[in-house]
Amino acid sequence: MEYIRFEKHDFAAVLTIDRQQALNALNSQVIEELDKAIDGLNFDEIRVLIVTGAGEKAFAAGADIGEMASMTREEARAFGRRGNEVFRKLETLPVPVIAAVNGYALGGGCELALACDIRIASENAVFAQPEVSLGITAGFGGTQRLPRLIGPGKAKELLYTASRIKAGEALSLGLVNAVYPREELLSQCLKLAEKIAANAPIAVRATKKAINEGIGKEMNLAIEVEAVQFAGCFETRDQLNAMTAFIEKRKAGPFMNK
């Protein structure tokens, strides 16, 4: 692929958007290549996915305005729908996804980060949904995920004003989980991935599924979602081995995804 790079680090994989001449802007080709890269992941080997952008300046500086400027209403609808399909696929992957946000995460880039489970930022990260300053709305899920993450009041302020916020404010709002110097960003994300991957992968996947499926439901229905995932972990090899080790006061052996 021209714009997507893939690297494997033990139980983690790193997908890097590498279109540096356009600040990693998301055009149709990047979105299609991202979709193909996601489809090619082997979840028997990968327990955590990290998504990042190449270079020092940008995670992804939005959807490609040069491509969007001449779109008709129907072409824009198809472009937005396609981006949403790919981002939703990323959001619902069975394994946790970490966004390593370096530099600009604007528009579609911010929305890409929002589709990930956890966002870790570099000190030079900048977030914004600037679409209204371009005469459009957010089109890849920003109006839906941002209010769910940081609350509707602050999300509306950011969406209505097209304001940019730096990493420190993003951390205070809960938009990101942590901020590190740029040169430490990927290594810190890999450390976090290692901590996640050290746990029982079936249980981690079940936890993600319980959160994603239950969060929009009324509590009585949500706890039933959790109950299904909880019960499904029992009699797996990982559960039996780990609980036996706990009772016997010894360290559990490596988890086997079974």
Residues tagged active-site: 111, 131
Kindly report the backbone phi and psi dihedral angles of residue 234, in degrees, each rounded to the nearest multiple of 5, phi listed first.
Answer: -75, 145
C-alpha atoms less than 13 angstroms from C-alpha of 33 in its C-beta half-sphere: 18
Q: What angle do CA 206, 210, 211 make, to 5 degrees?
A: 120
- Three-state SS string over the chain comes to CCCEEEEEECCEEEEEECCHHHCCCECHHHHHHHHHHHHCCCCCCCCEEEEEECCCCEEECCECHHHHCCCCHHHHHHHHHHHHHHHHHHHCCCCCEEEEECCEEECHHHHHHHCCCEEEEECCCEEECCHHHHCCCCCCCHHHHHHHHHCHHHHHHHHHHCCEEEHHHHHHHCCCCEEECHHHHHHHHHHHHHHHHCCCHHHHHHHHHHHHHHCCCCHHHHHHHHHHHHHHCCCCHHHHHHHHHHHCCCCCCCCCCC
